[in-house]
């Protein structure tokens, strides 16, 4: 184990709204409404004075002290000022300075997130103008209380200045909010230190309390272990294909499936479609649709909860598999990033209702985010987790880089070099190769995984190193394939169940390259001599990175073969080019 590090997690606990009195509900609504108005006022001041408030070289940090000089008066210390341009104390009377600072920090965090990620400004973005914005309440002003002798055992007590009274000193009133935590919530809060809490109401009108907890996590030790890349290719009907790229070839090929999830989603989709049609009919007849709308909201919430639970189960299994592999390897994790696939499923693209529903059910982004967060909580360095673009990975041969074809959903064939494999396995290997292109330490052929790169990719990297350093930018080629072909959006049907590569899937049995390096050495040498001799006689130039020989496979192996060398295609092509150049000279 390595050194300790802190990790921030959020624990979302439901508020027992039905157990609150009318006064408590009214006061909670007033507090959150007032906070939202103050946060929006801060955002307006930041937007108006952005040029004066931004600091740092990249101008992506808001100077908090300058913001205070514009909004808050002060009567003590060095910062004494009796007049400010925007006097928030005069504008919002029933709020303390500490609460002003909490609202200020929330607004600053929102603006800095906009500066770093881009997009619309917070006030102009969807959802900010109509919904309440929760502010952070720091540990000094709230308590999490356990009362075992009462019916409601867990309470959140917040000290707030909405109903403050002045006696000898200002006395702030306290608001007690009943909570309904599960054992999971309590365990998470006991694992670390509770720092802040936020109160908000979601789109379904349900109230939540989100606690920020700082965990102490021991980082995993990886010194002295060989480097490897764990690649994940996500799908829909067949959830994922995973493979480990090492110096000795690919290993630990595994396929993951969630058939029950797809069945549940289809049943809920049918029920939602029926209710939507019923609602439209009631609207046409000018009848009340309140009951149908309520049932639709409850059904959508239930469907979403089931989908999230299945995704969490998949992530848990993936993490267990990754931690098992990381005991032997210095592991990098790479997952395919699907971009623009929602646009392919828009209405009017002539792909059909079934295709649209299938694509919109695919929660690929949520799986990636949950997986990254889960690995961080287990001590895995987040810098070793990458998402690589997935476009063209399913139909490009990882051995020669040429476009192949898929006569079946599970089968990939490259007519240039003769490589045959499961299409999802080929896609996962391509995702891992793209990750190797991104990491300078992995491109080294002696200590890293540079043997997975094609000659033309090595030449591209060499040319770019001469021009300038990449500065952690992607080293992938920005040019797409010359011809328009099958896209990753069409290759949604991944492979088989959660099983190892010893599958009985016919496509898997037929899909793997066969001859080992030892058994095919004689054939390779004879083919090299024949190819070199023919090129010498005909004076045909050899283009680097192109494959000119179609391998003949004499046998079949399982998809779980632990070596990339089984086919020996890349090594064979490198030797062929060397002998050809020597023969032509």
Residue 540 domain boundaries: 512-585
* 238-277 per-position pLDDT tens digit: 789 999 999 999 999 999 998 888 888 888 888 998 999 9
Strand arrangement, sheet containing 330-337: 385-389, 330-337, 227-234, 240-246, 249-256, 499-500
In the chain, what percentage of residues exceed pLDDT 90? 42
Both 507 and 517 in one domain: the answer is: no
Write the DSSP string, 143-194: EEEE-TTSSS-EEEEEEEEEEEEESSSEEEEEEEEEB---HHHHHHHHHSEE
Both 490 and 426 in one domain: the answer is: yes
* 390-403 per-position pLDDT tens digit: 888 989 999 999 99
pLDDT reading at 501 higher than 70: no
Both 235 and 193 in one domain: the answer is: no
Domain stops at, among 486, 511, 536: 511
Annotate 487-521 with b (16+ C-beta within 10 A) or e (fewer): ebbebbebbbeebebebebebbeebbbbbbeeebe
Both 501 and 524 in one domain: the answer is: no
pLDDT band at 517 (very low <50, low <70, confident <90, very high): very low
pLDDT reading at 361 higher than 50: yes
Tell me, yes or no, whether 493 lies in a domain: yes
pTM of the predicted model as reported, rounded to 2 decimal places: 0.65
Interstrand relation of 405-408 and 385-389 (parallel, antiparallel or unpaired): unpaired
Both 388 and 534 in one domain: the answer is: no
| Out of 10-19, 157-166, 244-253, least confident range | 157-166
In angstroms, the CA 123 to CA 203 distance is 18
**Are 7 and 377 spatial neighbours (Cβ–Cβ below 8 Å)?**
yes
Interstrand relation of 207-218 and 142-146 (parallel, antiparallel or unpaired): unpaired
Residues 6+ apart with CB under 8 A from 454: 400, 401, 545, 570
Angle, CA 355 vertex, CA 353 and CA 360 arms, to 5°: 95
Tell me, yes or no, whether 285 lies in a domain: no
In angstroms, the CA 102 to CA 135 distance is 6
Tell me, yes or no, whether 15 lies in a domain: yes
Both 526 and 390 in one domain: the answer is: no
Residues 6+ apart with CB under 8 A from 386: 332, 333, 334, 335, 435, 438, 439
The mean pLDDT value for 17-24 works out to 93
pLDDT band at 174 (very low <50, low <70, confident <90, very high): confident
In angstroms, the CA 161 to CA 165 distance is 9
Phi, psi of 7 (to 5 degrees): -130, 130
Q: What is the mean pLDDT of the chain?
A: 78
In angstroms, the CA 370 to CA 234 distance is 14
pLDDT band at 232 (very low <50, low <70, confident <90, very high): very high
On the CB side of 163, CA atoms within 13 Å amount to: 11
Both 82 and 178 in one domain: the answer is: yes
Residue 443: the pLDDT is 87
pLDDT reading at 511 higher than 90: no
pLDDT reading at 23 higher than 50: yes
CB-CB neighbours of 157 under 10 Å: 13
Both 123 and 194 in one domain: the answer is: yes
* 102-125 per-position pLDDT tens digit: 999 999 999 999 998 887 888 776
pLDDT reading at 493 higher than 70: no
pLDDT reading at 22 higher than 80: yes
Both 255 and 399 in one domain: the answer is: yes
In angstroms, the CA 292 to CA 438 distance is 51
pLDDT band at 2 (very low <50, low <70, confident <90, very high): very low
Residue 364: the pLDDT is 87
Tell me, yes or no, whether 275 lies in a domain: no
* 76-105 per-position pLDDT tens digit: 777 788 899 999 999 998 888 889 999 999
Annotate 161-171 with b (16+ C-beta within 10 A) or e (fewer): bbeeeeeeeee
* 301-341 per-position pLDDT tens digit: 888 888 999 999 999 999 999 999 999 999 999 999 887 77
3-state SS string for 53-100: HEECCCCCEECHHHHHHHHCCECCCCCCECCCCCCHHHHCCCCCHHHH
Both 123 and 149 in one domain: the answer is: yes
Domain stops at, among 462, 482, 511: 511
- In DSSP terms, 216 is beta-bridged to 6
Tell me, yes or no, whether 198 lies in a domain: yes
3-state SS string for 130-157: CCCCCCCEEHHHEEEEECCCCCCCEEEE
Both 163 and 256 in one domain: the answer is: no
Domain stops at, among 511, 540, 574: 511
pLDDT band at 354 (very low <50, low <70, confident <90, very high): confident
| Out of 129-138, 383-392, 414-423, least confident range | 129-138
Tell me, yes or no, whether 519 lies in a domain: yes
- Among 436, 427, 347, CA closest to 390: 427
Both 74 and 106 in one domain: the answer is: yes
The mean pLDDT value for 474-486 works out to 43
Count structural domains, the chain: 3
Tell me, yes or no, whether 290 lies in a domain: no
The mean pLDDT value for 487-492 works out to 36
Residue 166: the pLDDT is 57
Residue 469: the pLDDT is 52
pLDDT band at 143 (very low <50, low <70, confident <90, very high): very high
Count of helix runs (H) and strand runs (E) in the chain: 17, 18
3-state helix, strand, coil in the chain (%, to 5): 45, 20, 35
Measure Cα distances from 393 to 137, 335, 339, 404, 431 in Å: 46, 12, 13, 11, 7
Phi, psi of 485 (to 5 degrees): -140, -150
* 395-427 per-position pLDDT tens digit: 999 999 999 999 988 899 999 999 999 999 999
**Are 300 and 197 spatial neighbours (Cβ–Cβ below 8 Å)?**
no
3-state SS string for 542-569: CCCCCCCCCCCCCCCCCCCCCCHHHCCH
Region for residue 348 given its phi and psi (left: phi exceeds 0; alpha: psi -120 to 50; beta: otherwise): left
pLDDT reading at 388 higher than 80: yes
- Among 459, 477, 485, CA closest to 545: 459
């Amino acid at each position: 184990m390595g050194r300790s590090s802190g990790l921030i997690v959020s624990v979302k606990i439901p508020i027992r709204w039905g157990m609150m009195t009318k006064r408590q509900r009214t006061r909670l609504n007033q507090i959150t409404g007032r906070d939202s108005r103050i946060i929006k006022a801060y955002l307006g001041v930041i937007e108006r004075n952005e040029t004066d408030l931004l600091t740092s070289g990249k101008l992506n940090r808001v100077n908090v002290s300058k913001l205070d000089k514009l909004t808050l008066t002060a009567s003590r210390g060095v910062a004494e000022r009796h007049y400010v341009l925007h006097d928030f104390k005069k504008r919002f009377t029933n709020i303390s300075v500490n609460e002003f600072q909490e609202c200020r920090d929330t607004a600053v965090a929102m603006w800095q997130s906009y500066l770093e990620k881009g997009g619309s400004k917070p006030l102009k973005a969807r959802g900010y103008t109509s919904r309440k914005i929760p502010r952070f309440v720091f540990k000094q002003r709230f308590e999490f209380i356990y009362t075992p002798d009462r019916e409601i055992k867990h309470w959140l007590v917040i000290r707030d200045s909405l109903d403050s009274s002045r006696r000898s000193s200002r006395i702030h009133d306290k608001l007690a909010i009943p909570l309904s935590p599960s054992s999971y919530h309590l365990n998470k809060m006991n694992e670390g230190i509770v720092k802040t809490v936020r109160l908000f109401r979601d789109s379904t009108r349900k109230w939540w309390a989100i606690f920020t907890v700082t965990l102490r996590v021991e980082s995993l030790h990886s010194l002295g272990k060989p480097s490897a890349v764990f690649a994940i290719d996500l799908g829909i009907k067949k959830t994922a294909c995973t493979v480990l790229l090492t110096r000795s070839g690919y290993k630990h090929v595994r396929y993951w499936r969630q058939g029950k999830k797809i069945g549940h989603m289809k049943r809920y989709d049918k029920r939602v479609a029926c209710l939507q049609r019923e609602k439209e009919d009631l609207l046409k007849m000018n009848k009340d649709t309140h009951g149908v709308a309520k049932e639709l909201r409850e059904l959508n919430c239930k469907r979403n909860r089931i989908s999230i639970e299945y995704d969490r189960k998949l992530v848990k299994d993936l993490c267990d598999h990754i931690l098992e592999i990381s005991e032997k390897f210095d592991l990098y994790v790479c997952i395919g990033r699907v971009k623009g696939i929602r646009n392919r499923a828009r209405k009017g693209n002539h792909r059909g209702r079934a295709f649209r529903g299938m694509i919109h059910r695919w929660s690929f982004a949520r799986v990636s985010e949950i997986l990254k967060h889960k690995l961080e909580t287990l001590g895995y360095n987040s810098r070793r987790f990458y998402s690589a673009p997935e476009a063209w990975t399913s139909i490009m041969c990882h051995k020669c880089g040429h476009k192949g074809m898929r006569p079946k959903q599970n089968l990939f064939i490259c007519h240039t070099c003769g490589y045959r494999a499961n299409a999802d396995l080929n896609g996962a290997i391509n995702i891992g190769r793209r990750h190797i292109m991104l990491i300078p330490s992995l491109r080294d052929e002696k200590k890293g995984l540079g043997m997975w790169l094609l000659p033309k990719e090595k030449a591209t990297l060499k040319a770019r190193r001469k021009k300038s350093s990449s500065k952690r930018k992607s080293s992938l080629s920005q040019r797409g394939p010359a011809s328009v072909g099958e896209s990753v959006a069409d290759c949604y049907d991944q492979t088989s169940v959660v099983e190892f590569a010893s599958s009985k899937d016919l496509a898997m049995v037929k899909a793997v390259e066969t001859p080992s390096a030892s058994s095919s050495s004689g054939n390779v040498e004879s083919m090299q001599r024949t190819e070199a001799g023919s090129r010498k006689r005909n004076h045909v130039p050899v283009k680097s990175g192109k494959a000119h020989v179609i391998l003949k496979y004499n046998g079949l192996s399982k998809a779980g073969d632990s070596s990339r060398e089984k086919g020996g295609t890349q090594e064979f092509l490198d030797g062929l080019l060397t002998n050809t150049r020597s023969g032509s000279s």
